[in-house]
Structure 1
Amino acid sequence: MTLSLVLLVLSAGVRLALALGTDVYFDEAYYWQWGQHLDWGYYDHPPLVAWLIAALGIRLAALLCGAGTVAAVWGLAHDVYGDRSAAWRAAALWSGVPAGIVAGVWATPDTPLLLCWVLALWALYRERWVLAGLACGLALLSKYPGVLLSVAFVAACVRARRLPAGAWLTALLGVLLFLPVVLWNARHDWVGFAFQLKHGLGGTGGWRTFGEFLAGQFALGGAVLLPLTLAYVFRGPREQFLLRAAALAPLLLFGYAALRTRGEANWPAAAYLSACVGIAGMRPGWFRAAALANLAVVLAVGSHLLFPVLRFERDVLLARTHGWAELSQLGDTAQFFPGLTREDVAGVYAPSYQLASEVAYYARLPVDTAGGARRSQYDLWPKPPVAPGRDALWLSEGREPPEELAARFSSVEGPVVLPADYRGRRVHTFSVWRLRDARP
């Protein structure tokens, strides 16, 4: 138990240090934007992450959900084994899983999904049908793959040749909670469902993209944890079939999706929740190997994000987590273009929803996307009004204003370079252009 407590304390320290020591990265800023326009659905995901950010703030929402997930893993493992030592091992193991660290520091749809997933799994295991229905509904309000938990439960019922009567109440509550999201999609030409199907199963894939997916699981799941998860799925105790199915379903679906398109490593993160419970019941040596291997990765990556020593030609990790706060300078437009006041700027355009969201968060200016940006929630919101004679800004990392945007103004001025450094490293070089005198 001593090792478990040490791991929990170290993990909590890493989470807090990363939450306080990194900028709001672009996905968080995007979901913060959702929180400024509360609704029952959004282009990319269901609404729960936006609601939490609106209520608690970005990092507090992530930290609280992360801590709640660790506590729920402890509770589930305690019920499964009836042993506090196994419960502490499961909680400590999950606390160091890189995918769990990410979701517990940076607020994304995975942040509430992981908490609701393990709460729903715990309630289903104990056959607390009302609680299970509420937790399943909230999982669906977090992210569409929350439906995979029902797939795991149905598989467990088929194997046991038993469908408890209370499960119908669980299904009803889950559907009722999710129904507003369905209605929102119906009013918006099913954009949320269509985007996820295309994003997850469209595009071009093959063994190369599957290899990238597998490498991502070794990174975000764990070099030791992933093989142990597979061993638990196929060789675990018969009485833990529900937990094993809940680990298999995300890995199976997103492994298949990786053969169809280039996916993201965090997609099957929920698989490792029940896997940590299962591994806590294996030989202590396996627990120690998985926990220490993941802790080494977390400490190495965390130290690089806060005190970078190694240099990389393209440091994606630093670029995602630092340098964005410099965009707050856009609020003082006169330092870029003398005589231009904040009130003169009708809006800021950017070539991606990520960059537009960072501007909205740090500069508190109206934003929109242009120049062939990937479709996003910005395409569903009303465009910022640009009255004739008003000015706007174009912000990018090296790209000139697109012709269709520049044509809406009388002239274009710039660029002015806005560098963003972190501990002596250049992480971003922003270019700011002035779009003068909007045409009628």
Structure 2
Amino acid sequence: MITPPDQASARPASPASRQLLAVAAAIVAMTALRLIYASAIDLRTDEAYYWTWSKEGALSFLDHPPVIAWFIRFGTAIFGDTNLGVRFAGIVAMLVTQLLLADIVRRVTHDVRAVALVLLMPEAALYYGLLMAKVSPDVALIPFAVAMIWALVRLTESNDARWWLAAGVFAGLALSSKFTAGMLLPAAAAFMLVPKWRGRWLASPYPWLAALIAVVVFLPVLIWNYQHDWASFRFQLVRATATHELSLRTVGDYIGLQFGLVGFILLPVVLSGVALTAWRGYRRGDAVAILLSTAVIVPFGYFFWKSLSLRVGDTWPMFMWPAGFAATAINIAMLPRDGFPAWMIQSTIAWAKVAVASGVVFVIAVFLYYVVAPWNFIGRADPIGGEAGYEQVVERAQAQLQKTGATWIATTDYRTYAMLRWFFKDRVPVVQINERGRFEGFRDPGMNAIRGHAGLYVGREPDNTSPVWRSTTAIREPLERVERSWRGIVMDTYALEKLTGWTPELSPPRDSPLYRPRVLAGGDQPPALFLTASIQTSFSGKLGNLHRLLIAGFS
């Protein structure tokens, strides 16, 4: 018998539907939070640097492949050259990542609670719940890496070999976002070779076609590097092969960053979920479990090894944790099916709930600290505030341009270059006179306004005393010093000088001191660990005590 429409509409929603509606409401609220953050917070220097890439027509760039520039171009095409325009694609990338994770978990478990959990875990992790609004190559890498995993899950479910081709497209886009995508290759290889279907795929043309497709998608990066003496690969190889003495401090930084950016409770929950998923996958030949667990274990182990002697960058490992979120949600759904004791199942679920709830609270607290609070709890080490306040430098630079008649601006570091170009929006030519290897393939910055005209040098102290000036014939006339501050704390001091008698060389010889880029193995940015440690201390509570204990254990 067909239920009348009025009775059908009056039927109460199922618990599963109510749960998904609640999760959807939470995602909408957190997305609104990210939109506010993206609009209100000034760009960081690297974000402005990537924005300059979006204004160029180069196939690739020295530091990273080009997809992040495409992301920024997409956002600024909608919202213009604004904070939100630069960051908008990252907010979209977060939503795409969540949808892909939800579909992966749904197809494997058919459990609404597991789907709800995997949707909420990224919201509870500081990097994803808030800092996906901070644009970086990792923001582009993450959705494509998850999409590659999703395509392989679809392959497992449907047994349709054509999904290899989709995986190849996404793998190529992931590599075109950031070279660390290559760390997913062991996971894809294990997915293909460990289960009993290895013979089928070794004999099938589809995996090899997928590899070929990935190379074709990655071809612009290869072409650019071929044209520029493989500059990107040599630049990144220095970081990958850099070795220093054993340091427990860098190990502590790495582990502490994972706790801070993933979650003080969520990280142990995810690691335990990944471990059980790996046990299940390799013991039974479960292809999806092998794929998800290996996509976390291999990068995590590699970065841990590198952290023994090198500071691992804040965002470098962030592409691996979404696979860990999926593995954790699937593991919780599988525990009852695998016959685990009830106490273990209940404990795992309880810890997952605590991890999500406490993580979301922490993300909101960090949001309020940066968007609402007037205080600076962290001082000069603040990873956001430490790069704020450039409008003060720009204001004085503008005044000196008018006073001295200078028509262009020179810098000696890419961060100052990027921020000045961002604020002036190319109304005034800005040139970084050194590290010209960073600017291969860039357009003319406006040499007609530079050649034969006085310039204004803006340099962070002590960069203004760099020996690179000995490679020029510039006459430098000191003008003034400008402090850049944030919430009452001076972050940096800048020297402003008038330049005459010299025109910068945009394409110096490769053996010139003006060409060679400075390689920062591990970067010289203050680690986000300072952020997480200080904010947790300021907001106190048990999580703050836990974090201090963790840091003490690794220092």
Given the two structures, how large is their TM-score scaled by the length of structure 2?
0.71
Q: 1:197 aligns with which of 234, 237, 248?
A: 237
2:191 maps to 156
- Report the alpha carbon displacement of residue 273 of structure 1 after superposing the two structures with TM: 0.5
| Rg larger in structure | 2
Give the aligned residue type for 2:263: G
Measure, in 1, the Cα distance between the counterparts of 2:245 and 2:170: 34
Measure, in 2, the Cα distance between the counterparts of 1:249 and 1:35: 32
2:315 maps to 266
2:223 maps to 183
1:220 maps to 261
- Report the alpha carbon displacement of residue 269 of structure 1 after superposing the two structures with TM: 0.9
Measure, in 2, the Cα distance between the counterparts of 1:273 and 1:439: 49
Secondary structure of the residue aligned to 1:396 is: strand
Q: How does 1:254-403 map to 2 (within 5 A)?
A: 254-281=303-330, 282=332, 283-306=348-371, 307-320=373-386, 322-329=388-395, 332=398, 335-336=399-400, 339-341=403-405, 344-350=406-412, 352-363=413-424, 364=426, 365-370=428-433, 377-378=438-439, 381=442, 385=447, 389-399=452-462, 400=464, 402=466
1:436 maps to 500
Change beyond 3 A, Cα 1:345–1:310:
closer
- Report the alpha carbon displacement of residue 221 of structure 1 after superposing the two structures with TM: 1.8
Q: State the superposition RMSD in angstroms.
A: 2.7
Deviation digits for residues 146-174 of structure 1 (CA, Å, limit 9, x no counterpart): 12222201112222143433322322211
2:211 maps to 171
Measure, in 1, the Cα distance between the counterparts of 2:267 and 2:292: 15
2:290 maps to 241
- Report the alpha carbon displacement of residue 63 of structure 1 after superposing the two structures with TM: 1.5
- Which shows bigger deviation, 63-72 or 17-26? 63-72
Give the aligned residue type for 1:244: S
Deviation digits for residues 361-402 of structure 1 (CA, Å, limit 9, x no counterpart): 11233333357x6x7613775886486642112213333354
Answer yes or no: is the 8 Å Cα contact 1:44–1:376 preserved in 2: no
Given the two structures, how large is their TM-score scaled by the length of structure 1?
0.89
Give the aligned residue type for 2:226: A
Change beyond 3 A, Cα 1:438–1:197:
closer
Answer yes or no: is the 8 Å Cα contact 1:119–1:132 preserved in 2: yes
Change beyond 3 A, Cα 1:41–1:411:
closer
Answer yes or no: is the 8 Å Cα contact 1:23–1:325 preserved in 2: no
- Report the alpha carbon displacement of residue 254 of structure 1 after superposing the two structures with TM: 1.6
Answer yes or no: is the 8 Å Cα contact 2:397–2:496 preserved in 1: no
Secondary structure of the residue aligned to 1:160 is: coil
- Report the alpha carbon displacement of residue 274 of structure 1 after superposing the two structures with TM: 1.4
Give 5+ residue unaligned stretches, structure 2: 1-18, 77-85, 156-162, 333-347, 505-555
Measure, in 1, the Cα distance between the counterparts of 2:395 and 2:166: 47
- Which shows bigger deviation, 267-276 or 290-299? 290-299
Secondary structure of the residue aligned to 1:268 is: helix
Measure, in 2, the Cα distance between the counterparts of 1:275 and 1:41: 30
Give the aligned residue type for 1:194: R
2:127 maps to 99
Measure, in 1, the Cα distance between the counterparts of 2:183 and 2:484: 44
- Report the alpha carbon displacement of residue 32 of structure 1 after superposing the two structures with TM: 1.0
Q: 1:36 aligns with which of 24, 35, 55?
A: 55
Measure, in 1, the Cα distance between the counterparts of 2:440 and 2:379: 34
Q: How does 1:48-63 map to 2 (within 5 A)?
A: 48-57=67-76, 58-63=86-91
Measure, in 2, the Cα distance between the counterparts of 1:320 and 1:81: 44
Deviation digits for residues 259-292 of structure 1 (CA, Å, limit 9, x no counterpart): 2422213211122101111222424213212212
Q: Which runs of 4+ in 1 moved over 6 A?
A: none
- Report the alpha carbon displacement of residue 403 of structure 1 after superposing the two structures with TM: 5.7
1:132 maps to 167
Change beyond 3 A, Cα 1:219–1:421:
closer
Answer yes or no: is the 8 Å Cα contact 1:305–1:317 preserved in 2: no
Q: 1:408 aligns with which of 473, 476, 485?
A: 473
